[in-house]
Amino acid sequence: MTAALSRSPAWSTRYLLFISGMGGLLYGIDVGIIAGALPYLESTAALAWKLNAQQLSFVVAAVLLGSVLSSLFAGLLADFIGRRPAMVVSGALFVASIPLIALADGYVALLCGRLLQGVSGGLIGVIVPLYLAECLPADRRGRGAALFQLLLTVGLVAAAVIGLVQARSVQVATEAAAVLPDAARAAAVLAAKDHAWRGIFWMCLTPGVVFTLGCLLLAESPRWLAQRGKREATPMQGARATDPLLSRRYVLPFLLACLILACNQATGINSVLAYVVNILNRAGLSGASANLADVLLKVLNALMTIVAVLLVDRKGRRFLLMVGTAGIVVALLTVGLLFRANEIRQRDVSAQVTAQARDDGLALRLDAPTLRALGADPAGPPQVLTVAYAYGPFTNVASIRSDDPALPRLDARRADTVQPDSVIGAAFRRLHLNPFPDPAAAATAPFSIEAARLGPLPTAGHGWLVAVAICLFVASFAIGPGVCVWLALSELMPTRIRSNGMSIALLINQFVSTSIAAVFLPTVGRHGYSTIFFFGAACTVVYFLASAFLLPETRGKTLEEIDAFFARPAAK
């Protein structure tokens, strides 16, 4: 089969794009699948296995941890066993994770399965773009990376659709169980929810199998063969082995790729997509409208990625990055100004909220008596209260609206705020480093209100303006940075350092993304949403300038020609 592919270059390229696209699909599923499964996992696993909220959060975060860990050695693995075998390994790990999760009968198996999914995702994120860059001809390389990103967005949508299918099955089962006695009805609903979250993961098995088996039929990267001394298999010319690793040809493209990937996440794209429903609720949209806007954003992301696929090899990487980053700056500034216009109408009610706090926390509803105590008219426009609180070094943010018909209670509790200690955190503290808060310091720390603001809820019109601006943000990201970041990651790195350099650059990308996600809620709780959006706009200005003045245009150039560009003396 491989020989047949090599005799038909056009068909071979299409097949390569298809399999690589399946890798992007798996990457998207890795990220998005837990969202649909989590509500049912909370309902059933928490009851059957006595999981607490912290253990469930570990299940969610395990994919990120696995991805970070595998990013560290993805380049070494690709260099040691080859690009194609490394892709097979990444797919096999994904396939192995599905039964481990779907058949789990306890917390450890569930956590290990999710960790394995993360390892698979980290390997795919490095090795597939690397393989595409080294195997595709120069005039198709951009489209290949764009297709990877397109299928990644399709993977996110597919994960959401799978969740909707299972949600419908749970709804049908719930309606059918309505005629049963109370105990039997509860058992039937619980069984339906248990089947739903397991079914969500089982439905992801097929693309993993297709990707894994499909990789077996691919040819090895010609540039990897050249590095291994099999230059007769390829006409490619790599960098001279005698070139020092700190020479201009290595340092400049590596630093530029790291800058591009750091700026890519500094736009705040992952946090905005993760919290978009919360953002739009706070902007004035109802729950149903905010969820509708969330679906539309995912569809828009996929559609604009299709546009990028069509343009990336025609208009070039730098052009799309400049257009995309310019659009992001405009969008983020607009969202920031819209929120700022509302935030200046808010009042500091920290003293009043502190007066209602208990010794070990806070519990209040934004009902008429509470509104009066906070100095607001219950008969006036709907109000929103945002409270930032802390137990020693651990902080949290909570928000409630007076127009919610359920009138939910704002609960600030030590058990939900203070996180258990971790092996990593303890290890850093033994080295007298303190990047992680110490749970011991928070065990007896007093409860404190860091900030509390009350103000009128924005109108629905204000919410839709914010939604439109966020649509511009997502569209601009999809057509520029969303696609071009994979090209920057793979094209800028010289052959000698490409695999390991891509691992380090992607790790920086994930570090920035995780850092922004970690400070997102505390920042908006203390300083408002406008602050986080203005910060993203400022970082994107740096991104635009780097694209305009530092990034070389790589459209239509071989990897060796790009390498030669950075090898020129600085005077040239």
Which pLDDT score is estimated for 244?
55
Q: What is residue 213's predicted lDDT score, i.e. its pLDDT?
A: 94
Calculate mean pLDDT across residues 371-383.
Answer: 86
Predicted pLDDT at 457: 83
Structure tokens at 192: 């339906």
* pLDDT at 571 > cutoff 70: no
pTM: 0.73
For residues 484 and 337, which has the higher predicted lDDT (pLDDT)?
Answer: 337
User: And the tokens for 365?
Assistant: 């509803």
372 contact partners, CB below 8 Å, separation of at least 6: 378
pLDDT of residue 247: 61
CA–CA separation, 229 and 192 (whole Å): 57
pLDDT for the residue numbered 568: 65
Query: Structure tokens of 368?
Result: 């008429």
Q: Of residues 247 and 504, which shows the higher confidence score?
A: 504
Closest to 144 in 3D by CA, of 29, 309, 33: 309
Q: Encode pLDDT of 184-210 as tens digits.
A: 877 888 888 888 889 889 988 999 999
Which of 269-274's residues contact partners 24+ apart within 8 Å by CB, and which partners? 269/473, 269/474, 269/477, 269/481, 269/482, 270/513, 270/516, 270/517, 271/513, 271/516, 271/517, 271/520, 271/532, 272/470, 272/473, 272/474, 272/536, 273/297, 273/474, 274/517
pLDDT digits (tens, 9 = 90+) for 275-285: 787 788 888 88
CA distances from 361 to 396, 398, 401, 453 (A): 12, 12, 19, 17
Whether 424 shows a pLDDT value over 60: the answer reads no
Chain segment 304-325, per-residue pLDDT in tens:
888 888 888 788 888 899 999 9
Mean pLDDT of 421-450: 65
Contact 22, 212 (CB under 8 A): no
pLDDT of the residue at 1? 42
Task: Examine the pLDDT at 525 and tell me if it is beyond 90.
Answer: no
Its sign, for the CA torsion 543, 548, 552, 554, is: positive
CA 479 to chain centre: 17
**More reliable by pLDDT, 433 or 229:** 229
- Most confidently modeled range among 26-30, 57-61, 239-243, 400-404: 26-30
Cβ 322 vs Cβ 544: under 8 Å: yes
Name the packing angle between helices 107-135 and 53-81 (round to 10°).
Answer: 40
Does pLDDT of 78 surpass 50? Answer: yes
Alpha-carbon gap, residue 125 to 505, rounded angstroms: 11
Q: For residue 228, what are its two tokens?
A: 């291994």
pLDDT at 53: 59
Q: What is the pLDDT of residue 422?
A: 55
160 within 8 A of 36, measured Cβ to Cβ: yes
Residue pair 269/331 in contact (Cβ under 8 Å)? The answer is: no
Q: What share of the chain is helix, strand, coil (3-state, %, to 5)?
A: 75, 5, 20
Range picked from 419-428, 462-471, 554-563 for highest mean pLDDT: 462-471
Pick the more confident residue, 511 or 240. Answer: 511
Q: Is the pLDDT of residue 570 over 50?
A: no
CA distance 18 to 438: 47
Statement: residue 65 has pLDDT above 70: yes
Mean model confidence pLDDT for the chain: 80
Specify the 3-state DSSP secondary structure of 6: helix
Q: What is the pLDDT of residue 437?
A: 66
CA 309/CA 54 separation, integer angstroms: 40
Q: State residue 152's pLDDT score.
A: 83
Residue at 397: amino acid letter:
V
The residue among 159, 22, 28 whose CA lies nearest residue 88 is 22
Residue 409 pLDDT exceeds 50: yes
Q: How far apart are alpha carbons 53 and 71 in whole angstroms?
A: 28
> What is the phi/psi pair of residue 235, to 5°?
-85, 5
pLDDT surpasses 50 at 220: yes
Specify which residues 456 forms β-bridges with: 383
pLDDT at 543: 93
**3-state secondary structure at position 556:** coil
What 8-state DSSP symbol labels residue 358?
Answer: B
Say which DSSP state 495 is in: G
pLDDT band at 288, cuts 50/70/90? low
User: What pLDDT shows up at residue 382?
Assistant: 85
Say how far apart CA 128 and CA 133 lie, in whole Å: 9
- The larger pLDDT score, comparing residue 397 to residue 481, is at 481
Residue labelled with tokens 């809620």 = 521
How many alpha carbons fall within 13 Å on the CB side of residue 279?
30
Pairing, β 409-413 against β 347-348: unpaired
Cβ-count burial of 530 within 10 angstroms (0-12 exposed, 13-18 middle, 19+ buried)? Answer: buried
pLDDT in tens, 143-190: 777 788 788 888 877 887 787 788 778 878 888 887 788 778 778 888
d(CA 417, CA 445): 12
Task: Decide: helix, strand or coil at residue 365.
Answer: strand
Tell me the two tokens of residue 379: 């008969």
* Per-residue buried b or exposed e for 306-339, using 16+ beta carbons within 10 Å of the residue's own CB: bbbbebbbeebbbbbbbbbbbbbbbbbbbbbebb
Per the model's pLDDT, the better-predicted residue between 433 and 45 turns out to be: 45
% the chain with pLDDT above 90: 15
> By C-alpha distance, which of 313, 264, 280, 227 is closest to 495?
227
First to last CA, the chain: 47
Share of the chain above pLDDT 70, in %: 86
CB atoms within 10 A of CB 240: 10
Q: What is the DSSP string of 464-493?
A: HHHHHHHHHHHHHHHHTHHHHHHHHHHHSS
* Domains of the chain listed by start with CATH number: 9-234 (1.20.1250.20), 247-357+457-572 (1.20.1250.20)
Query: For residue 432, is pLDDT > 60?
Result: no
Q: Cα separations (Å) of 237 from 124, 179, 226, 247, 563?
A: 26, 73, 8, 18, 10
Interval 74-84 mean pLDDT: 87
Q: What was the pLDDT predicted at 420?
A: 61
